Amino acid sequence: MKAVEIARKDLKIEFRAKGTLNLMILFALMTSMMFSVSIPLSLAKKIAPSLLWLVFLFVGVLGYGRAFLREVELETLEGLKISPVAPTSVLIGKILYNLVLMILMEAIILPIFIGLFNLDVANPILMVLSVTLGNVGFVIVVSSLSILVVKSKMREMLLPVLTFPVVFPIITSTILAIRKSMGGDLEGILSPLALIVGFSIIMFVVACLTFEYAFTD
C-alpha cells in the first residue's frame, strides 16, 4: 500500500535524523516540569487533565505539522504531486507517520506526567484510551490542515490558528474523558469517548474528500 510506504519513508528519515522527535520530547518534558513546579499538588488532580492535554496540544502543533514541511525543505513536495500516488494515499501516509510519533510521545510523556503530579488514576487503561483517542483525532486534523499552510511564510502562526477552532470538540471531550478515567467513572466516560470517535471519523472523511484540491494547488 502506497500510504504505508510513504509513512515508512518518513519514519526512516525521522529516526535517522531524530530532529522532530527530539524537539517534541524536549518541549513536552520542559512544559511538564514547569507545570509541576508551578502548580500546587493540592490542585493537581483538578487541573491535571487540562494541563496534560495542553502539553500534547502544543507538542502536536509543533511536531505533526512538519510531516509536509519536510517535503518542502527537501524539495520533494512537487515530486509527490506528479508521482503516480493518489493524494488520499499521501494524506493517510502522513497520518500514519504522525500516529507513530504520537504513540512514542505518549509512551514517554504520560508516565512522567503522572509521576510528576503524583496522580491517583482509578482506571489507567481508560486514561490511556482517552488520551490516545484524543490524540488520534488531533493528528487527523493537524495532518489534513498542515498542507494548507506549508508554503506560507507564517505557517508556524497560521497552523495553530486554523487547528484550534477545528479541534476544540476533541479538546473538551478528551479533557472530560481523562477526568472521568481518573475518577473511575465507567458510565460517564462513554459519552465523551463516543464524541471523540465520531468527530475523528467525520474529520477523516472530510479530509479524504477535500485533500486532493489542497494538495494539487
CA separation for the pair 107, 128 (Å, rounded): 10
pLDDT, one tens digit per residue, over 4-40 is 888 888 888 878 877 777 888 888 888 888 888 887 7
pLDDT at 154 over 90: no
Percent of the chain with pLDDT over 70: 94
pLDDT, one tens digit per residue, over 89-103 is 888 888 998 899 889
Q: Which residue has the cell 512514542?
A: 104
pLDDT (0 to 100) of residue 170: 93
CA separation for the pair 198, 154 (Å, rounded): 32
63: CB partners within 8 A, 6+ apart: 20, 21, 23, 24, 98, 101, 105
Write phi, then psi, for 152 (nearest 5 degrees). -80, 145
pLDDT (0 to 100) of residue 202: 94
**Is residue 124 a contact partner of residue 153, using CB atoms and an 8 Å limit?**
no
pLDDT confidence bin for 133, thresholds 50/70/90: very high
CA separation for the pair 57, 28 (Å, rounded): 10
**H helix runs in the chain, sequence order:** 2-17, 19-38, 41-63, 66-73, 77-82, 87-116, 124-149, 155-183, 190-216
Mean pLDDT score, 117-139: 89
pLDDT at 139 over 80: yes
Per-residue cell: 19:
530532529
Report which of 29, 72, 56, 81 is spatially closest to residue 141, judged by C-alpha positions. Answer: 56
pLDDT confidence bin for 152, thresholds 50/70/90: low
DSSP calls for 85-131: S-HHHHHHHHHHHHHHHHHHHHHHHHHHHHHHTT---S-HHHHHHHH
Which bin fits 184, alpha (ψ -120 to 50), beta or left (φ > 0)? left
What sign results for the dihedral spanned by CA atoms 195, 200, 201, 206?
Answer: positive
Report which of 29, 159, 147, 172 is spatially closest to residue 95, judged by C-alpha positions. Answer: 147
